[in-house]
Chain A
Amino acid sequence: MGRPRTFDEQAVLASAGALFVRLGYASTSVDDLVTALGLHRGSLYQAFGSKRGLFVAALRRDVDAGLPELPPETDEAVASTALDLLLVAVLELAPHDSEVQGLVSAAVAVLADRYPALGPDGPATLLGRRLLARAGHASAPQPSRPGRT
């Protein structure tokens, strides 16, 4: 048992997602989370079970919301916390975490749906471009597609 929850869960998940994006999953300590979220350590464990539980909840919130605030398809340099959190999930957790794998699949379906003009490889293109943009590498301008002027 423990005290009832007295914090704004949505705000906590948004802040946690932003912190995981900034520091990476492995490097984010519970000390970092407790400080940034303004939660007691006990409340964090009581509400989310573990650091992993908090990450999964933050990712699930974004996926359930249809990955809010995605960049326009032509400008991957526009920062999107939802997209970047997905990248952290893909790189750090998904390889050995089946629940995160499921969320990644759901997110990829959302991306395919959102960017039909990019074709079947749209999600891969978008994530790859965003990864390079985060590294300071600007993508080449997109070639004009056949059938368009």
Chain B
Amino acid sequence: MARITTTDDRLTVELRGLSRLWALRKGVTAPLAHVRGATADPGARREPKGRRSPGLHVPGIAAVGTFHRDGARTLWEVYRGERAVVIQLSDEPYDRIVVEVHDPRAVVEQINRAVAQRA
């Protein structure tokens, strides 16, 4: 599970536990101006992940790390995936972040509201 926080102008996605090891990252932070939106999307877990660099990929079990597919660079941290949230970015090293959170509905609303208030 990732921890997602928003401030007046930034979004921070924090990886925890072993995920940091697999992804070789503590997380991602981006200005809200570069966040295009968030969606609760449990079906995202079944998407082909693409090429990993670096990351852990055990199909059906876990996808954690940086993956490249169709020219898009995505940070994945998905184990079971029922609570996956997709965050689309622009002009950032990552095009997309797909992580699991405890309460997808609340997180999605929080991000989209923060983005709207800034705009």
Residue ranges of A at the interface with B (Cβ–Cβ < 8 Å): 1-3, 29-31, 34, 40-42, 45-46, 48-53, 96-99
Contact = CB atoms under 8 A, between A and B. Distances in A.
B43 A31 contact: yes
The B interface is mostly helix, strand or loop, or mixed, namely mixed
Given A52-B112, A96-B113, A99-B116, A1 B41 contact: no
Contact of A3 (B42, B44, B71, B116): B71
Interface stretch (B17-25, B32-40, B58-66): B32-40
B37 A49 contact: yes
A42 B72 contact: yes
- Residue of B41, B44, B109 with most chain A CB atoms under a 10 A cut-off: B41
A5 B22 CA distance: 33
A98 to B, nearest CB: 6
Contacts of B83: none
Given A2-B71, A42-B70, A46-B88, A97 B37 contact: no
The A interface is mostly helix, strand or loop, or mixed, namely helix
Interface of B: 36-39, 41-44, 47, 69-72, 86, 88, 95-96, 108-109, 112-113, 116, 119
A147 B71 CA distance: 67
Contacts of B71: 1-3
A2 B36 CA distance: 15
- What are the 4 A-B residue pairs with the smallest beta carbon separation, nearest first? A50-B37, A49-B36, A49-B37, A31-B43
A2 B43 contact: no
A30 B41 contact: yes
A50 B72 contact: no
A100 B39 CA distance: 17
Contacts of A31: 43
A52 B115 CA distance: 12
Contact of B69 (A42, A52, A53, A97): A42
A124 B108 CA distance: 31
Given A3-B71, A41-B47, A50-B38, A97 B116 contact: yes
Nearest to A4: B71
10 contacts: A3-B70, A41-B41, A41-B44, A49-B88, A50-B86, A50-B108, A51-B37, A52-B39, A52-B112, A97-B113
A83 to B, nearest CB: 25
B72 A1 contact: yes
- Residue of B36, B70, B88, B109 with most chain A CB atoms under a 10 A cut-off: B88
Contacts of A1: 71-72, 95
Contact of A53 (B37, B44, B109, B119): B37
